[in-house]
Chain A
């Protein structure tokens, strides 16, 4: 499974000294661990499938399916050419939700932990509770990954990182999904051990 590079950094290298030194391998592709993308088209297809999966969770795929091929192309071209405007002009639509709702259907998120074998946690989770209260990042973790949270009075053992920062656990999940999602429309959350310096 391919991870966004920002996630890789958060997950594996957030404690390393900057600038981050990257080793590029030109042979011995780890075929067993990673899906080999034979062409740029395959990379694009992978990216688009992530976006589609996210929209399936958010809007039952309604938004992405209503888009035209060229909109999909624009998403990819915007990402590829580092053109935020171009990208966001389309991505914005993926971040909207019906006025009568208070948020997406489900939040597309993945939680990664360095300490487990499991690649990531992904479950159905709604942004709004049955009573209308907005779910927070803390609610999510309590529900799907309680081990990441510090016990009531215990010491904080883990950091919850998104995009290199630690948002407060009280942050509404819907807001995070709209504003801190990766280009593939997923909220990639890293749980990493609290550095012990």
Chain B
């Protein structure tokens, strides 16, 4: 279920002193020179930094006495502005300091000499961290964090503008622009229309800085009456004269747009009165209350082509997420929803009245109460504190209709109700609901009329306004969850009519004045249940819904149960000793598949397949899969005992529905049995059946144990393995090619677990998910799936192609290359032709959800049009053109989406890049502490989750941990050692983290190994391993309890893609390439052998399942081998399983090489 209703950003919004880039919530490394700082830093969203400067003189060395011509001893980064430490103030009342000033000891990711000084010949110049003979000046950077604190409350927008410049009272306000193609995440466009008809734009509004910085007046050709800003680049304004203005040229580089176009109303006698825009739609109401849909609106043509009159008369319409439309009808003032709005039919089919209950009908009082203003310019329509509807969610978009001062204003929270289903994963949502019980109790008193106008001219009383939360609604449309439309939808529409001055009879429906669907994600085609009054029974409970009195229930039910019990006793109890008569063998399934043949040339051949299932005398089942094929007109077959199968892996690509079947032997060969089915359904049926048979024969069922090992393939499929006790036996570990992996539904990029059963995942779209305790889902239906705890999950990823061009002296850059050149439209390597038209989603499970757009975020940077330049293909690209560049390329991305199901619930709202859960030290069993969980957000913020426990694995809220640069990876060890890797490739250790101080106190910079940029870190019980961008695995030497940072990095292995260190300090990796006897596999699970307390780096690698594995977490497995019996069990085990190898050979199979075999 979704926690969508309570979109709330727990983590503080972070601002950094420096640099004041509106684009980034967190600062970036100190490469200040190229960033171009605005001189007036007070306007920037994040001041708070000072740089003390010193000059060297021959007598006293460096001192604060500067030359008269020098900069201020304390200044901003430019040196132009005097900024003593105590003179740096918070931008407004709504910010707070997070910590005190401290010296930044990093310089571009490298540690500096003590004190953080950087040196130069003179101000301003290039600073280096080394002091040289000619260093005459030095400076260092002081940092202090601040955060926006006025969350969950209405915060007056401060203004430092000249009062004369201030906008007059506002008439309308609209928030949008959060999905302008490729813009920095979190940027928002806030537009307002004043009473005098002027249009204002609020500068620098973003999630970290929700209040923005200043108002800019936009020139308009005539006086504006109302405004509507869509999530993308649509912005329409209505004019008092009845025309509409359309803003042209809104883009990533110019969110304010460049010019206005005028659109005439449908009929000249009835001007446009109200307009509302979405992604690609414009709806309007004219003065005669007619509803109009604008035909042909899109990014290239924001004006559209013509008006189409729609049925019905409305007082207003509102376009919400996914271009869904709400309206208030003119006749009965009821709320309507436009049914049938789909991407192909944006105008929808019909208006349907929404049944919205009043407070007496509401199941959760208080929490969702919201009054909303009726505020819009057509004041005659709206009565004083008339009833109004609450759009609710805390989305920025729902703030789109903020009231004008002449209208009743929201006096209540826009808070969304902690929906009963939704609240489970959303602590903040429910917690907020307690904040305003008083207002709930006396709605009639809630008619304050503050004027939400910035500036000293107006000083409204401090009203108990609550929450506007600006978590991006961006993700909302792209993650539908089962039931989401109903849940959020209902809550969005939950309303409390406050209009007591125009009372209506008990049977009248409320007269609505305003509706906003901005917080309500309705997927096209979803079935909504808003249109009829429900009798209060959901289908799931309806079997108990008979209207019978308890007394009757008692009588007949009791009798039925009593009789059944007696019958069971009579008919079964005495005959327990009879042997079960069961069939010994049964054919379960036969069919036709294709098989990737063993001989060369390898190709798909048609085969008959039969799965034969046996039931032994002990009731245990076993199965054999027969594959019958014909080669040279000779009939042959191969067979596989399903109790030997170690993994069944779906391999979907755009052409084939295939899957791979691994046994230990085939894992060693790197040559699985590959089978393909004609349809996806057929493949899923086979997969589900085979998987069930494998689980049966190994007696694996139900949810994975808390110690389970989790892994993920490059396709996002999730696998889990139950660790055998001797997996980590130091003497004779179980060869990891014998581990049995079963699939769990869902789609993830990262999964992390700990031994208390807390499992978190991160999707490709960075959505955080928490494991619900279910199993199955995806293609595993029925018995292989738990009946509860399975939810819809979706994921979004981008497909990238490159547009390549070569320069020639005549025409400049063209798409005509040299004959030897790569394709002009290609993949990243340039080897494969990929045009916009021919490129398909990765498999049939995926479908496109966006159009192609330029990706500006490629490494190396791009110019304004997204081009990267280089002297020739292939080379290193840079984001600006030089004389030597003859080729250029740009990256195009297109989003595709997959919808599946699995035991995962979204942890909204913060998107994550990495997560780590504390491994439990062996022996330390549930000591009552909550489970420490750290994460890095997709923006690079470091977060610490509070309140995580077995019972509440999702935890309750995020605690923000300050950093002075964006981070990439994080890991917490069993003794609360938190290590992290920053995006610049250096490592950090967080000091003093403990259960009582969950966020620790400060970061210690740990230099990366020489000339290497780290990308991942993993900390076990004591061992610390890190991985660099070149695939080298490093062990941190010299880590002791008294000196947890350790002393140096020691190289362990190359050829590593991902590392996971567990609570026994066991080390598992995903190796890049592993050569088997038949083939090579990329992405292979490997286990470090010979890891001993006196030899923590281990000796060699044991190779497990592989071929397309991307991620592993063994951090839940704290199962030690039983010490005394380990020798014996190893022998017995291999004997039992009929392996051709004795213990000696098993050991021999663990290849004692120094690194995974690379080729």
What is the interface of chain A, defined by CB distance below 8 A to chain B? 18-19, 70, 74, 78, 83, 85-86, 89-90, 95-100, 102-103, 132, 134, 163-168, 170-172, 174-175, 178, 180
- Docked CA distance A167–B556 (Å): 7
**Chain B positions within 8 Å of A70 at CB level:** 681, 685
Q: Which of A89, A167, A168 contacts B787 (CB 8 A)?
A: A89
Question: A168 — which chain B residues lie within 8 A by C-beta?
Answer: 555-556, 559-560
CB distance from A2 to the nearest CB of B (A): 20
User: Whole-angstrom distance between the alpha carbons of A164 and B560 in the complex?
Assistant: 11
Q: Is B543 within 8 A of A167, CB to CB? A: no
Q: List, in ascending order, chain B residues with CB within 8 A of A165's CB.
A: 560, 563-564, 566-567
Set of chain B residues within 8 Å of A171, measured between Cβ atoms: 556-557, 559-560
On whether A167 and B559 interact (CB within 8 A), knowing A90-B782, A102-B547, the answer reads yes
| A95, A166, A175: the one within 8 Å of B546 (CB) | A175
| B residues in contact (CB < 8 Å) with A | 532, 534-535, 537-539, 542-543, 545-548, 552, 555-557, 559-560, 563-564, 566-567, 570-571, 574-575, 578, 681, 685, 781-783, 785, 787
- B102 to chain A minimum Cβ distance, whole angstroms, is 59
> Once the chains are docked, how many angstroms separate the CA of A78 from the CA of B537?
29
Q: Is the CB of A19 within 8 A of B539?
A: no
**A18-B547 in contact given A89-B787, A99-B535 (Cβ < 8 Å):** no
Residues of A within 8 A of B545 (CB): 102
Chain A residues in 8 Å Cβ range of B557: 171
Docked CA distance A164–B566 (Å): 10
CA distance A89 to B692 in the complex (A): 15
Contacts of A96 in B (CB 8 A): 539, 542-543
Question: What is the CB-to-nearest-CB distance from B715 to chain A, in angstroms, rounded to a whole number?
Answer: 23
A164 lies within 8 A of B571 (CB) = yes
Q: B525: shortest Cβ distance to chain A, in Å? A: 16
User: Told that A89-B783, A170-B556 touch, could you supply 6 new A-B pairs with CB distance under 8 A?
Assistant: A18-B574, A74-B782, A163-B564, A170-B552, A172-B546, A175-B546
Is the CB–CB distance between B555 and A170 below 8 Å?
yes
On whether A18 and B783 interact (CB within 8 A), knowing A99-B534, A99-B535, A168-B559, the answer reads no
B782 contacts which chain A residues (CB < 8 A)?
74, 78, 85-86, 89-90
CB distance from B686 to the nearest CB of A (A): 11
| Closest B residue by C-beta to A97 | B542
The chain B residue sitting closest to A172, CB to CB, is: B546
Bound Cα distance from A134 to B555, whole angstroms: 16
Complexed CA–CA distance, A163 and B565 (Å) = 12
Q: How far is the CB of A118 from chain B (nearest CB, A)?
A: 27
Contact call A99/B537, Cβ cutoff below 8 A: yes
Residue of B nearest to A82 (CB): B582
Report whether B542 and A99 are in contact in the complex, using a CB–CB cutoff of 8 Å. yes
Min Cβ gap A77→B in Å is: 8
Distance to closest chain A CB from B784 (angstroms) = 9
Neighbouring A residues of B552 by C-beta, 8 Å: 170
Q: How far is the CA of A120 from the CA of B1026 in the complex (A)?
A: 76
Identify the 6 closest CB pairs spanning chains A and B, nearest first.
A165-B563, A171-B556, A86-B783, A168-B556, A164-B567, A89-B782
Provide the residues of chain B in CB contact with A78, threshold 8 Å. Answer: 782-783
Residues from chain A with a CB closer than 8 A to the CB of B535 are 99-100
Residues of A within 8 A of B787 (CB): 85, 89
Give the docked Cα–Cα distance between A134 and B564 (Å).
Answer: 23
Subset of 25 A-B contacts with CB under 8 Å:
A19-B575, A19-B578, A74-B782, A78-B782, A78-B783, A85-B783, A85-B787, A89-B785, A89-B787, A97-B542, A98-B539, A99-B535, A99-B538, A99-B539, A102-B547, A164-B571, A167-B556, A167-B563, A170-B552, A170-B555, A171-B560, A172-B546, A174-B546, A175-B546, A180-B560
CB distance from B788 to the nearest CB of A (A): 12
B560 & A167 in contact (Cβ 8 Å cutoff)? yes
Q: How many angstroms from the CA of A178 to the CA of B560 in the assembled complex?
A: 13
User: How many angstroms between the C-alpha atoms of A86 and B542 in the bound complex?
Assistant: 22
Cα(A49)–Cα(B546), bound, Å: 29
C-alpha spacing A134/B785, complex, angstroms: 35
Chain A residue nearest in CB terms to B571: A18
| Min CB–CB distance A168 → chain B (angstroms) | 4
Looking at the assembled complex, report how far the CB atom of B562 sits from the nearest CB atom of chain A, in whole angstroms: 9
CA A99 – CA B543 in complex, angstroms?
Answer: 10
A171 to B539, CA, bound (A): 22
* A residues near B566, Cβ cutoff 8 Å: 165
* Complex interface: chain B residues within 8 A of A19 (CB): 575, 578
Point out the residues of chain B lying under 8 angstroms from A167, CB to CB.
Answer: 556, 559-560, 563
Among A98, A99, A134, A167, the most chain B Cβ lie within 10 Å of the Cβ of A99
Complex contacts, A102 vs chain B, CB 8 Å = 545-547
Residues of A within 8 A of B539 (CB): 96, 98-99
- Residues of A close to B564: CB separation below 8 A: 163, 165
A168-B553 Cα distance, complex, nearest whole Å: 11
Q: Complex formed: what's the CA distance from A98 to B575 in Å?
A: 42
> Once bound together, how far apart are the Cα atoms of A175 and B552, in whole Å?
13
In the assembled complex, the Cα of A168 lies from the Cα of B539 at a distance in Å of 27
Measured CB to CB, the nearest residue on chain A to B567 is A164
Q: Give, as a whole number of angstroms, the nearest-CB distance from A93 to chain B.
A: 10
Residues of A close to B548: CB separation below 8 A: 134, 172
| Complex contacts, A163 vs chain B, CB 8 Å | 564, 567
Q: How far is the CA of A100 from the CA of B533 in the complex (A)?
A: 9
Complex Cα spacing A125 to B188, Å: 62
A178 to B570, CA, bound (A): 24
Complex Cα gap A165–B555 (Å): 15
Residues of B within 8 A of A95 (CB): 543
Residue from B534, B563, B787 whose CB has the most chain A CB atoms within 10 Å = B563
A86 contacts which chain B residues (CB < 8 A)?
Answer: 782-783
Tell me whether B575 and A83 are in contact (CB under 8 A). no
Residue on B nearest A178 in the bound complex, by CB: B543
User: Closest residue to A68 on the B side, CB-wise?
Assistant: B681
B540 to A, closest residue via Cβ: A96
Chain A residues with CB below 8 A from B781, complex form: 74, 89
